[in-house]
Structure 1
Amino acid sequence: MNPGLHGLLFVSGTGTEVGKTAVTAALAAVAVRAGRSVAVLKPGQTGMAPGEAGDCAEVGRLAGPTVTLRELARYPEPLAPDTAARRSGLPALTLDRIVLEVKELTAAHDLVLVEGAGGLLVRYNEDGLTLADVARAVGGEVLTVVTAGLGTLNSTALNAEALRSRGLRTPGIVIGSWPAEPDLAMRCNLADLPKDAGAPLLGALPAGAVADPAGFADRAAAALAPELGGEWDAAGFTARWS
């Protein structure tokens, strides 16, 4: 039986708009389908006015109403949390506040997913707090969402170097959006991405997978490797597109 995910996992990315929320929702959906209690924490949501549906709401739409959703801070401008907090005059996040929430959620759930803002080293406050700092403080692993196309190898390698230099563990990487008709660079990157990441490729979410919540858990399971609770076969997928 596939053990799937349990415990605590941070979901980061090599940049913005790489598919972190879609992958977070996919991880949550397959865990819920396996009978696990799941919580998703978004420490800092930017670019959303009060009352607007943010990333947590998107996870809930796709993964279902049983997922516990937590958002600690929201800033209206689409900027890094530190900059957005400063410009808005709202309080910035602190390490203690995030760690306290993580501990409370992990005590009450089988799986807690913490979705970052942007990439691993995006600042949450003027002291330089990053998602990497939070992961180190609580001992969580970091899954990185990457893009498929040209330019992804360098950003993936830089992210891997940042993880290693901080002693952070990672189960692997996931491609946040895989098109129906990948170009040459995308197809070649399937073999090259794990080399630059220094970690396995554990999934590729098809483009458009989040359009309809109906059947999303099945699509998610088909796009995630067994290590993440799914049924995706990295070797077979890579061979298909080679």
Structure 2
Amino acid sequence: MALSLKLKKFLLKQGASEVGYADITDFTPRPGLNSGVVFFIAYPKGIIKTMKNAPSPEYLEELISLNSRLDAVGMKCEEFLIDEGYDAYAQTKKRLGTDFGEFNSFELPHKTIATRAGLGWIGKSALFTTLKYGSALRLSSVLTDAPLDFGKPILKSKCGKCEECKNACLGGAISGLNWNYKLKRNDFYDDKKCEKYALVVSEENLGKADTVCGKCIFACPHTQKYLKRL
């Protein structure tokens, strides 16, 4: 479909590393907006290489930068679709805020759209994971009524027996259970344990308590393959 290709080219030009489209009819939080546009920006290899003793100051700085850039790309996507004659709503961090509720998640997570678009799966760390970048990426999404070419959903994990992220998580937040689309995040991952440990390790590494860690990102074998790829 011409619109799908045109939008993807536009978003890649705006700085996205990858773009996908998903049918979100059954779980859209905004009635009528049944198509999901999802995109991510990968962390530069040099930033991830500082993460052996995560979190690093470089990682935190890049995380903040990526959030701003993703919001900007999301708004550009919204404007593009509106100019094409469709309704659209960018799920930016600025709009959604920082209060994600009891389980640190908002109504329709970007990674849910990303799995339905076929871009990757949810790792045992509860992070969105791809073969090309591992979990060294950050996502955003836009809801729209535009007719788009939907990807083939990925509905179960590709992690298999790997437990590198579980072993790297000294907070004990990762159970080791493989994700599938029927599971709730807290069925296999404890966000409270993650947050508790992150506060400690960020104080040690960054000099201030924050809810950032990243050990599981660095540990993922697919992330390591990304770092070694020329």
TM-score w.r.t. the length of structure 1 is 0.28
Which has the larger share of strand?
1
Q: TM-score, normalised by structure 2?
A: 0.28
